[in-house]
A and B are shown apart, each in its own frame.
Chain A
Amino acid sequence: MSKYDVIIIGGGHNGLVCASYLSKKGYKILILEKNEKLGGLVNCASSLNGFSSKILGDLNIKLPKLNYNSYIVALHSEQQHTILQENNNKINFIKSNANEENQKKFSSLINKYKIYASTLSNFMYEVPPRLKSGKSKDTWQLINMGWKIRKLGKKNMREFLRVIGLNIADDLEDNLRDNTLMGLLSHEAILGSNLGPRSPGSILSLLYKQAIQNGLFASEKYDFHQLIPSLEKNCLDQGVEIKNNANVKKIITTNNQATGVILDNEEKIEAGIIISNADPKTTYFDLLGTEPLDTDFIRRAKNIRTKGNIAKLTITLKENPLIINIEKEKMNAKFIYAPDINYIERAFNASKYNKYNENLCFEFHHCVNVIVANIYYVPYVKNNTHDKEKLIQHSINLLKPFISNLEIENAELITPNEIEETYNVMGGHWHHGDFEIDQMLMMRPFYGSAQYTTPIKNLYLCSAGTHPGGGITGINGRNAAKKIIRDKI
């Protein structure tokens, strides 16, 4: 008998959540984490607003609540910044160049999307049904999904069916006149995707974000740094073993059945169930290898689009930063620079050809004298050919006009290529794969692998590459655990 029932490859948030649910059912679990630190891509992120409160409730995890109201600052090149705040689902404009009508329309647009997003959020906690499995369970689930969309009512359903295929720029331009506000919402829609504001599907990507996140501009509810330690503690308390610095080299299979893993140091560990929290491509091509996979399956796996687009910049300053035209007490904010639709679209244009543009977009916040910024679009390029020094300098130049005391002590930047390297995420994609219609629900990551299962018996997926996708939600881990529990009973 092997020592473990379950091995989870990767100690990211989904791996930890999955372990938590399974260990509650009495499974003996080992988590293998490649890095020193748990958390995976959480270490690259900066917000916990998407994390499922249902999961926190289920697992009885109490994260320390934060009690402050942060601001959203949409930076303006002439320092006429827009400042807003979201309280109890209501957006308050502190300062804006937009007239009242535009401010109102901005809020009502977000509210319109919220209705559709709540329909989508119904599907989040379900193992996606197959479209023609011939099983009545799947058919019922599909009818149920259709019913939920119908429940929107005639008018909303029509608009919903229209906007899911629409691009965000069109809907914004139909409704708003203020460039900054349009830029701001476009930013929320396309961040982390391979879309520009004018790409069809960019509204869907925003809806999805709203579906997992309570309030697009809401303040941080929880202390970001507490999530992983809390999940870790929860796991350890339930007897889960966690092994750091343990890079899995290969998943072992016999007779089409996963039986264990081999680590870099050739150590072999066996278990009845293997769950991969690595992205699907890495799982299939690197960890499992193509040998036990059907040719058609390999073709589909190869076609998942996973090109990352965001670089993360961390700079340490001599003192706390000061933003021009922003009062000190409002420095507790997320600063966003995506000034207008065309600016973003042009930045996106360059990334299509695996280049980056002089004029990138970014968002950042600061903690004491450290600024953490997401810079996009900085595409993943084959063979990592970015000139990193230049990219850092370039990124700093982007920040410079807004920060009056930018004296840098240290600057670090992680390109999508380095995200790939460090976190074992192919393409360095935040969400383990583009979130577009052909890569969502029962098609995420692709047909034949979309219900957390794989063609290999007892090998499961629980990463962001599965339904419902990326963002730090933990739902993938939960759904995978539910699926496994259902399969095994």
Chain B
Amino acid sequence: MSQTNISYKQPLLETPFHEKTREKCYAHDWHKWAGYKVVKQYTSAELEYTAIRNTAGVIDITPMHKYSVQGKDAKKFINKLITRNIDNIQPNQVVYALWCNEDGFLVDDGTVFCFDENNFRICSGERNLNWFEDTAIGFDVTIEDISHSIAALAFQGPLSCKILHMLNANKIENLKPFCFDQFTINNQEITISRTGFSGDLGYELWCDPSQAHEVWDALFSFNKDYKILAAGLDALDMVRVEAGFIVVNADLIAAEHALRPNRMRTPYELGLAWMVNLDKEFFTGKEALIKQKNKGVEKKLIGLDVQGDKPAVGSVLYDGSKKEIGIVTTAMWSPTLKSNIAMGYVNKEFIKLGSKILAEIYHPEELEYRKIWAQCKVVKKQFLNLERRNAVPALI
């Protein structure tokens, strides 16, 4: 899809899968994502969610921003950019990464694909061209925004490997988590990575826009045997909450966009300390993060098990004496866990697992909000931890 051909009549671009997704999107429930029109719900988010946990769901994730990073300093550059150390990264490996500004606040998160020493690809939710280019000053790398030249599908769920296997993706079951390789399905040579946003067994398929229809059709070709569904962003959001993944602009505001300085968050505040490698020689934000690590955080993103079944959307959190101690960023009823789960920020006194707090829930009931005081318990953010997610060989 050409980006230069713009018309006010079409404010949103269509992805290479658009014809296919439109066919199935009976609900006509669309969503804006990075300038693209994508499906929010095809028919019902619950059904699509169930497919991801039960068979498999196909999600169009083409709007993800993709940047190619090439050149002799590519690895050095990425090591300066992100908080993890990729000195030992191998070709065909993927890492989840965070990058921060000089104050240690998160600029964005994303995945880094290693093709070889001098050739990487970064996928991210936010636009990062300026940040990458400015970080690359003085490095011998070329950064290119290739978002529009790669089509992408997430294929997530317990049957995802089986179906790819049935499509003759050679030894796909041996592909380890956070690895990728070239595979041929339906005569199309494409890249498949064992990555995803569902906390389940799943893959992401990367191809040229011209291959999009063939790839889509292939995935659905066994639908008479196994019913997989195209899933919209609502379903994807449900599975990511169960998996405890954060989303920029939902759980925090990216440092480059935050109007109010106090809306930015550091990896420590997000509970992502394991992603920060302070032993590394240098990365942007290192000094600030060392300081924060030594001082400790004032507040932190935690998981909450909320009493009752009314989702604590937008709730303010209180301690026993009803003093404000935090807020909920994301909340939902988990169909798999049959639990009322939430993520939110609480003051440092309450970040310990098992801490008891109160949520003030305003629950809409037939035009009126009912105020509910719900007991909550601080739990691990990863609400759902499935064995099949990381199993090798994967479930066929």
Direct contact of A and B (CB under 8 A): yes
Chain A interface residues (CB < 8 Å from chain B): 255-256, 285, 289-292, 294-299, 302, 448, 455
Question: In the complex the two chains form, is A298's CB within 8 Å of B287's CB?
Answer: no
The SS class assigned to the A binding surface is loop
Assess the A297–B282 pair: CB atoms within 8 A.
no
Across the interface, name the chain A residue whose C-beta is closest to B288: A294
Distance between Cα atoms of A289 and B140 in the complex (Å): 12
Cα of A295 to Cα of B255 in the assembled complex, Å: 12
Q: How far is the CB of A395 from chain B (nearest CB, A)?
A: 37
Contact residues in A for B76 (Cβ distance below 8 Å): 291
Assembled-state Cα–Cα distance A297/B102 (Å) = 7
Whether the pair B137, A294 counts as a contact (CB closer than 8 A) is: no
Instruction: Verify if B139 is at the interface (C-beta below 8 Å from A).
Output: yes
A255 to B282, CA, bound (A): 8
Q: Determine whether the beta carbon of B134 is less than 8 Å from that of A299.
A: yes
A290 touches B102 (CB 8 A): no
Establish whether residues B137 and A292, one from each chain, have CB atoms under 8 Å apart when the complex forms: no
Q: Give the chain B neighbours of A448 by CB distance below 8 A.
A: 102
What 10 additional pairs, Cβ within 8 angstroms, besides A296-B103, A297-B102, A298-B134? A256-B287, A285-B137, A289-B138, A290-B138, A291-B76, A291-B138, A292-B281, A294-B102, A298-B135, A302-B137
Q: Please state if A290 and B287 are interface contacts (CB–CB under 8 Å).
A: no
Nearest Cβ distance between residue B72 and chain A, in whole angstroms?
14
B101 close to A294 (CB less than 8 A) = yes
**How far is A476 from B102 in the complex, measured between Cα atoms in Å?**
27
Question: What residues of B have a CB within 8 angstroms of the CB of A302 in the complex?
Answer: 137
CA distance A297 to B138 in the complex (A): 13
B102, B281, B284, B286, most chain A CB atoms within 10 A: B102
Decide if B101 touches A296 in the complex (CB within 8 Å): yes
The reply to whether A455 and B287 form a contact with Cβ atoms under 8 Å apart is yes
Any chain A CB within 8 A of the CB of B300? no
Q: Across the interface, which residues of B come within 8 angstroms of A299, CB to CB?
A: 134
Whether the pair B284, A295 counts as a contact (CB closer than 8 A) is yes
Bound-state CA distance A296–B101 (Å) is 7
Q: Is B285 an interface residue (CB 8 A)?
A: yes
Closest to A285 in B: B138
Nearest B residue to A455 via CB reads B287
Query: What are the residues of chain A within 8 A of B139 when measuring CB–CB?
Result: 290-291
20 A-B pairs within 8 Å (CB atoms) are namely A256-B282, A256-B286, A256-B287, A289-B138, A290-B137, A290-B138, A291-B138, A292-B281, A292-B282, A294-B284, A294-B287, A295-B131, A296-B103, A296-B284, A297-B102, A298-B137, A298-B138, A299-B134, A448-B102, A455-B287
User: How far apart are B184's CB and chain A's nearest CB, in angstroms?
Assistant: 40
Please give, as numbers and ranges, the residues of chain A lying within 8 Å of B80 by CB-CB distance: 291
A1–B270 alpha-carbon span in the complex (Å): 43
Residues 56 to 84 of chain B near chain A (Cβ within 8 Å): 76, 80
List chain B residues, Cβ under 8 A from A291: 76, 80, 138-139, 282
Give min CB distance, A279 to chain B, whole Å. Answer: 17
Tell me the minimal C-beta distance from B305 to chain A in angstroms.
Answer: 38
Give chain B nearest CB distance to A300 CB in angstroms.
Answer: 10
Q: Complex: how many Å from CA A256 to CA B283?
A: 10
In the bound complex, what is the Cα–Cα distance between A296 and B138 (angstroms)?
14
Interface pair B287/A296, CB less than 8 Å apart: no
Per the bound structure, the CA–CA distance linking A256 and B138 in Å amounts to 17
Chain B's closest residue to A288 (CB) is B138
| Chain B residue nearest to A297 in the complex (CB) | B102
Report if A255-B101 is in contact (Cβ < 8 Å); known contacts: A295-B134, A298-B134, A302-B137: no
Question: How long is the Cα–Cα vector from A381 to B8 in the complex, in angstroms?
Answer: 41
| Contact partners of B103 in chain A: CB under 8 A | 296
B69: shortest Cβ distance to chain A, in Å? 15
- The 7 lowest CB-CB distance pairs between A and B, nearest first, are A290-B138, A294-B102, A296-B102, A295-B135, A294-B284, A295-B284, A292-B282
User: Which B residues between 93 and 140 are near A, CB-CB below 8 angstroms?
Assistant: 101-103, 131, 134-135, 137-139
A residues within 8 A CB of B281? Answer: 255, 292
CA A294 to CA B105, docked complex, whole Å: 12
CA distance A285 to B76 in the complex (A): 17
Assembled-state Cα–Cα distance A296/B137 (Å): 11
* Chain B residues numbered 367-382 whose CB sits less than 8 Å from any CB in chain A: none
Q: How far is the CA of A455 from the CA of B291 in the complex (A)?
A: 14
Which residues on the B side are within 8 Å of A292 (C-beta)?
281-282
How far does the Cβ of B264 sit from chain A's closest Cβ, in whole Å? 12
Q: Are B285 and A294 in contact (CB under 8 A)?
A: yes
Once bound together, how far apart are the Cα atoms of A299 and B132, in whole Å? 12
What CA separation (Å) do A285 and B139 show in the bound complex? 11
Closest chain B residue to A448, Cβ basis: B102
Contacts of A296 in B (CB 8 A): 101-103, 284
Question: In this complex, what residue of A is CB-closest to B255?
Answer: A296
Q: Are the CB atoms of A295 and B101 closer together than 8 Å? A: yes
C-alpha gap A35/B49 in the complex (Å): 71
Measured between alpha carbons, how far is A329 from B285 in the docked complex, in Å?
64
B102 contacts A295, C-beta separation under 8 Å: yes
- Chain B residues within 8 Å of A289, by CB: 138
Q: In the complex the two chains form, what is the Cα distance from A294 to B99 in whole Å?
A: 11
A457 to B, closest residue via Cβ: B287
Inter-chain contacts of B284 with A (CB < 8 A): 294-296
B284 CB, nearest partner CB in chain A, Å: 5
Set of chain A residues within 8 Å of B286, measured between Cβ atoms: 256
* Chain B neighbourhood of A295, CB < 8 A: 101-102, 131, 134-135, 284
Bound-state CA distance A296–B80 (Å) is 13
Query: Please, which residues of chain A bring their CB within 8 A of the CB of B131?
Result: 295
Q: In whole Å, how far is A61's beta carbon from the nearest beta carbon of chain B?
A: 39
Nearest residue in B to A294 (C-beta to C-beta)? B102
Most chain A CB within 10 A, of B101, B138, B284, is at B138
Instruction: A256 to B285: give the CA distance in the assembly, Å.
Output: 12
Q: With A and B bound together, what is the CA distance between A114 and B250 in angstroms?
A: 57
Determine the distance from Cα of A469 to Cα of B287 in the docked complex, in whole angstroms. 28
Contact with A along B280-302 (1 / 0, CB 8 A): 01101111000000000000000
Inter-chain contacts of A297 with B (CB < 8 A): 102
Tell me how far the C-beta of A286 lies from the nearest C-beta in chain B, rounded to whole angstroms.
10
**In the complex, which residues of chain B have a beta carbon less than 8 angstroms from the beta carbon of A285?**
137-138
Write out the residue numbers on chain B whose beta carbons fall within 8 Å of the beta carbon of A298: 134-135, 137-138
Residues from chain A with Cβ under 8 Å of B101 in the complex: 294-296
CA distance A297 to B282 in the complex (A): 14
Docked CA distance A255–B278 (Å): 11
CA distance A297 to B285 in the complex (A): 10
Cβ-closest chain B residue relative to A298: B137
Residue of A nearest to B104 (CB): A294
In the bound complex, residues from chain B placing their C-beta under 8 Å from that of A290 are: 137-139
State A260–B286 Cα separation when bound (angstroms).
22
